[in-house]
Structure 1
Amino acid sequence: MNTVPATASRSPRSRALTASAALAALLPLTLAGCGGGVSSDGAETSETTAADETVAVENCGRELSFDAAPTSVVGMMPSQTELLLRLGVTAESLVGQAQTETSPLPEDVADQASDIPVLSTDMPPAREDLLATSPDFVVSPTEYEFTAEQGFASLDQLADNGAQAYVATGGCADRRNTAEVTDVMTDITNLGEIMGVPQEAAALNDDAEARLAAVEDAIAEQDRLSVAQVYVEGNSLGAIGAGVEADIILQAGGENVFDPDAPEFEAFFATEVNPEEIIERDPEAIVFGTSGPENEEQTREYLTTTFPGTPAVENDRLIAVDQSDLYPGTLGNIDAVETIAVELYPEAF
């Protein structure tokens, strides 16, 4: 059974991540990940200088500067490739896509990516494979994809080869535990400016805002249900109390039984727990990430047999969401909000 803090289902975008490595793997992937758009002075969007039309973006403490829209772009995860395609970036400008087997692209954009070279399937591309594409811009969910010790091209190596890298806002090291669903809108705005498609970005953000507002309106009169958000690996159990994962629960109208300000979530958004800690909190719903149908079935069986007396199990409120929809910098965060809200309050929709 293999579920790491992640989320909802529009199409299976899930990533099969082993969760004994759950905390270990998530640490480099998310805690160490450095996201985009949040600057120390509070500037969260890109800006264009009228004089020379240079686009400057603050990205995880780094300033990125573009005199022209990139023409050789790599999406380091399907979620980033999807964003670029939805912004209208042409397949001709995308010289590579990576980690393609971690989650499939949504059907309505999958065909557009069919001719984009695949650089890697289940892990970030090796240094030489990425640099061989001669990219001028690389878009990633976290900074882990640039870990030189893992054999990946570092940010400095990319810069030496004429490429800049943008990391999702929600993946930034100093943002990870306080990330919000709306962080993806910062990414959309920034990428729209960088790629020279601000109008497309505005339209995509308008749609995202409308979807979140529709959920908020629908559940406005509902009595809030308590929710435990967990990940399961075999008989190992973890709880999620902070990060964009927790904000997804909040946006969906749930009250997380774990406090993001608790000491166990000070350094990381998830922690291992004993089943007794879930039982004691007696959640009315349990949300869990899934990497596919078989994983979902196994996790449901574990939760049902481990927590039979909780309202969540008694009322059949075990809510499965696609693992990849909890990754930083993905529109799947909004899919997750919608999925969980409908499961929590079906009478509101």
Structure 2
Amino acid sequence: MTLHTLRPSTPKNRRPAARAAALVLGLTFLTGCGQSVTDATRQTAPASAATPAGQIQNCGRTLAFTSIPSRAVAMTPGQSELLIKLGLADSVVAEAQSKGRELAAELKSTGKVIQLSDKTPPGRESLLGVRPDFVYSPTGYEFTAEQGFASIEQLKKAGAESYVATAGCLERRSSAEVGDLLTDIGNLGAIFGVRDRAAAVQEEARTALNDVSKAVDGKKRPRVLEVFVEGSTISAIGAGIEHDMIHRAGGDNVFSPTDPAFSSFFSAVISPETLTQKNPEAIVFTTLDKAHEQATLAFLRQKFPNVPAVKDNRLIAIDSDEVMPGTWGNIRAVQEIARGLHPAAS
């Protein structure tokens, strides 16, 4: 079997690498409960009426909040979506890595949100230029100074705390779980003083995941290969949040976090021979856009016509945004994969 470690610094795997995950740290509520939210689609209680979070543990760092953030930057549309779901649209001033998508209606209606970048994280000057006091990112990659991005330290000096999704913390990327999103929701609720609303969103997430578990319970679990294909290069996913998605959706991944190739990185390049040898009954693949989806389908059908997953057309496309840590898309991805693996259970 040919299996090579996929280096996180290579451009082609930067997006899959950004989805990997890291250290779970406990949610710390150092102060009393905040006020409840009566309208989830609008801004929550004014900052003056909410209780600041105090200290929050995130990726091995202690974040300090003595006031409620009012100039938040969402580093992907998925981060925007979760902030909106928590009723915080009016707290957002910018979005990054928008991939050509229009702002969500809730953000557009505020009249103050700008898009900082399209396919890559925003440059240092661009991010600092919107004067953020809070930056919500799916991974730590978005703060890589060597890439020309504002570092966590630079943002701190400018008066902004930087929060990395729990599943996107470097130390946790191989052991991340979909449930890490619940930690993020709780932390954001504390940071913005909307704990009651956050508790309701957490319960919504738990219910959605439990519904999937019930739907696939007792069903035969197909052997699943998860990949990201670029050109003729196949990167398999063997650990991290995506691995957990397969399990929750009622499948058994053909690779495991205990495999040597995935002990230090959640993804690895595999040869066509390895894919054929694994003989998956279903293939889940992440896509950058519709053109990439069609290109991946064409590649799999042309190169692996006799693999059961291809022969039976059990090819499940998942938008790469849905597997970015700290987004509601994580819940949708589990639901979509479950429907693909167990259509009768939908």
- C-alpha change, 1:186 and 1:113, in structure 2 (3 Å) is farther
Counterpart of 2:168 in structure 1 is 171
Q: Could you report, residue by residue, the CA deviation over 1:279-324 in whole angstroms, capped at 9, with x for unpaired residues?
A: 1111110110112222111111111121111111121101111111
Equivalent position amino acid for 2:230 in 1:
E
Counterpart of 2:199 in structure 1 is 202
Question: CA–CA distance in 1 between the matches of 2:209 and 2:241?
Answer: 14
> Does the 8 A contact of 2:52 with 2:193 survive in 1?
no
Counterpart of 2:44 in structure 1 is none
Q: CA deviation at 1:24?
A: 5.3
Question: CA–CA distance in 2 between the matches of 1:333 and 1:214?
Answer: 15
Counterpart of 1:278 in structure 2 is 275
> Does the 8 A contact of 1:284 with 1:311 survive in 2?
yes
* TM-score (structure 2 length as normaliser): 0.87
- C-alpha change, 1:210 and 1:194, in structure 2 (3 Å) is same
Question: CA–CA distance in 1 between the matches of 2:123 and 2:10?
Answer: 24
3-state secondary structure, aligned to 2:283:
strand
> Does the 8 A contact of 1:23 with 1:271 survive in 2?
no
1:142 paired to 2:124: no
Question: CA–CA distance in 2 between the matches of 1:307 and 1:146?
Answer: 39
3-state secondary structure, aligned to 2:83:
helix
- C-alpha change, 1:103 and 1:312, in structure 2 (3 Å) is farther
1:75 paired to 2:65: no
Counterpart of 2:99 in structure 1 is 101
Question: CA–CA distance in 1 between the matches of 2:285 and 2:272?
Answer: 14
Counterpart of 1:45 in structure 2 is 27
Question: CA–CA distance in 1 between the matches of 2:332 and 2:175?
Answer: 20
> Does the 8 A contact of 1:285 with 1:312 survive in 2?
yes
Equivalent position amino acid for 2:75 in 1:
M
Counterpart of 2:12 in structure 1 is 22
* TM-score (structure 1 length as normaliser): 0.86
> Does the 8 A contact of 1:288 with 1:321 survive in 2?
yes
Q: Could you report, residue by residue, the CA deviation over 1:210-266 in whole angstroms, capped at 9, with x for unpaired residues?
A: 111111001112011110111111111111110001001011010001122000001
Equivalent position amino acid for 1:62 in 2:
R
Q: Could you report, residue by residue, the CA deviation over 1:146-182 in whole angstroms, capped at 9, with x for unpaired residues?
A: 1122222111111111111111000111101110011
3-state secondary structure, aligned to 1:58:
strand
> Does the 8 A contact of 1:20 with 1:233 survive in 2?
no
1:56 paired to 2:55: yes
1:236 paired to 2:233: yes
Q: Could you report, residue by residue, the CA deviation over 1:28-85 in whole angstroms, capped at 9, with x for unpaired residues?
A: x356x7x67x23xxxx213123599652110011101112211111111111111111
User: Which 4+ stretches in 1 moved above 2 angstroms?
Assistant: 19-27, 48-55, 102-105, 107-115
3-state secondary structure, aligned to 1:295:
helix
- C-alpha change, 1:112 and 1:306, in structure 2 (3 Å) is farther
- Pick one of 306, 310, 317 that aligns with 1:309: 306
3-state secondary structure, aligned to 1:268:
coil
Equivalent position amino acid for 1:63 in 2:
T
Question: CA–CA distance in 1 between the matches of 2:148 and 2:320?
Answer: 25
Question: CA–CA distance in 1 between the matches of 2:267 and 2:106?
Answer: 32
1:162 paired to 2:159: yes
1:248 paired to 2:230: no
3-state secondary structure, aligned to 1:123:
coil
Question: CA–CA distance in 1 between the matches of 2:161 and 2:257?
Answer: 33
- C-alpha change, 1:126 and 1:270, in structure 2 (3 Å) is same
Give unpaired runs (5+ residues) of structure 2. 1-8, 34-50
Counterpart of 1:320 in structure 2 is 317
Question: CA–CA distance in 2 between the matches of 1:57 and 1:265?
Answer: 30
- Calculate the aligned-residue CA RMSD, in Å: 2.2
Q: CA deviation at 1:20?
A: 6.8
3-state secondary structure, aligned to 2:193:
coil
Counterpart of 1:344 in structure 2 is 341
Counterpart of 1:12 in structure 2 is none
Higher deviation after alignment, 131-140 or 260-269? 131-140
